[in-house]
Amino acid sequence: MATAFIIKHRYDALRVILSGSKLITGVGEDAVVQSFASPRAAREHLDLVLSRRRREGYAIEEQELDDADEEILAHADVQPDPLAGAVSWDAEQRRLKVVFKGASVPAGRCEAIIERALQHQPVCLQVLCDHASPGAALSSALARSPLPSVHHFIFDTFFQTVTRQRNNSPGELGELFAALPNLERAFLTGALVLSPVTVPQLRELYLLGDPLSPVTLAALGACQFPALETLGITLSADSGPAEELEAALALRRMAAPNLRSIDVHGVSDLLGFLDALTQAPLPPTWSSLRMDGRVDDEDGLLALLSERAGAMASLSHLGLPLGDELSLDGEARAKACVEGLADREELRDLLTPGAYDGW
């Protein structure tokens, strides 16, 4: 005998059917069938999901299925999942993982994925490109069907370098952010297009490009992130210098009154970047700044650190590539100039897939 569990929260409802060793989520052609080794294993997995939902405030109704539901069960048994291999659901972590495979994304695929996401209400939405990229189709589909349940968004193919991801795109980021109104963390790699936007609850933002375009950097400077605490940016990887002056100006201009930790990769001219960044005292909330980059003029960098030490007084930690770029004497003199100065390798690298492992 099959049993249906109706999971309700405000105006949303999701039906999960327990039928022997199978769980059937949704109805009709959109039903997702999960098969387990035994009825007991299916029940244990369901109990875990229901327990989590109850803790989150969901109401659970249990119903024995009548004859009218047999057609749904029969259909679900034979209907293949159209998103098999493209979407996987981790009920315990509430993470929906999406993989775009092949040379291109089929028409309607993004809409089907977002419809599946609406069924599951994920807290974390993770998107990988292997090798197809959704582009504007993804942000447009989200704009038509927002996902307020999503608190963490990942657009990164962890087994590919930033350079190999340089043409991947999730669409327009302003549109995407608007469709995820409760977004707290975002890790994004590729051809990132940003317009000035306000993201009220965003606490962590990571932007990796090869390169990040001048338009996107300028837009970053015009954004408002009232809750942002951590920012990581990769200006470029293998493509050559990015617009580093624009990046420094963006960091100074963006409205992020709670920003504390900044990590900047892909700086070709560290002296020039640091000079532009410290023309005025750094914001008092900034406590950790980590940067890479080439130093072609050691004496020039030492002079700048001595001159701008006061402008960097808010920093508890300043990470620079000391061991790689300075002589031993230069490293000692640099540390004497600025309190809290350390080799960048001693500070945590924010711009790796490890940043989102726990999301």
Tell me the pLDDT tens digit for each residue of 256-273: 999 999 999 999 999 999
Q: Give the integer Cα–Cα distance in Å for 109 and 114.
A: 9
Higher pLDDT, 316 or 52: 316
Q: Report the range of poorest mean pLDDT among 41-45, 140-144, 158-162, 311-315.
A: 41-45
pLDDT attached to residue 53: 82
State the average pLDDT for the chain: 91
**Helix, strand, or coil (residue 347):** coil
Q: What integer is the mean pLDDT of 288-298?
A: 94
Looking at residue 23, its amino acid is L
Per-domain residue ranges of the chain: 3-78, 87-259, 280-352
Q: What integer is the mean pLDDT of 146-169?
A: 97
pLDDT attached to residue 82: 77
Q: What integer is the mean pLDDT of 14-30?
A: 79
Q: What is the DSSP letter of 19?
A: E
For the chain, percent of residues with pLDDT exceeding 70: 92
- pLDDT tens for 56-100 read 788 898 888 765 555 555 454 444 567 878 999 998 899 999 999
Q: How many CB atoms lie within 10 A of CB 119?
A: 19
Q: What is the DSSP letter of 281?
A: P
Q: Nearest-CA neighbor of 271 among 250, 245, 238, 233?
A: 245
Q: What integer is the mean pLDDT of 183-205?
A: 97
pLDDT attached to residue 110: 97
CATH topology of domain 3-78: q64v53_bacfr protein fold (2.20.140)
For the chain, percent of residues with pLDDT exceeding 90: 74
Q: Is the dihedral of CA 134, 135, 138, 141 positive or negative?
A: negative
Q: Is the pLDDT of residue 144 over 70?
A: yes
Contact between residue 205 and residue 189 where contact means Cβ atoms under 8 Å apart:
no
Q: Report the range of poorest mean pLDDT among 20-24, 29-33, 112-116, 152-156.
A: 29-33
> E-assigned strands of the chain?
3-9, 12-19, 22-25, 32-35, 59-64, 87-90, 95-101, 124-130, 152-155, 185-189, 204-208, 230-234, 261-265, 288-291, 317-320, 341-343
pLDDT attached to residue 74: 47
Q: What is the CATH number of domain 87-259?
A: 3.80.10.10
- pLDDT tens for 215-226 read 999 999 999 999
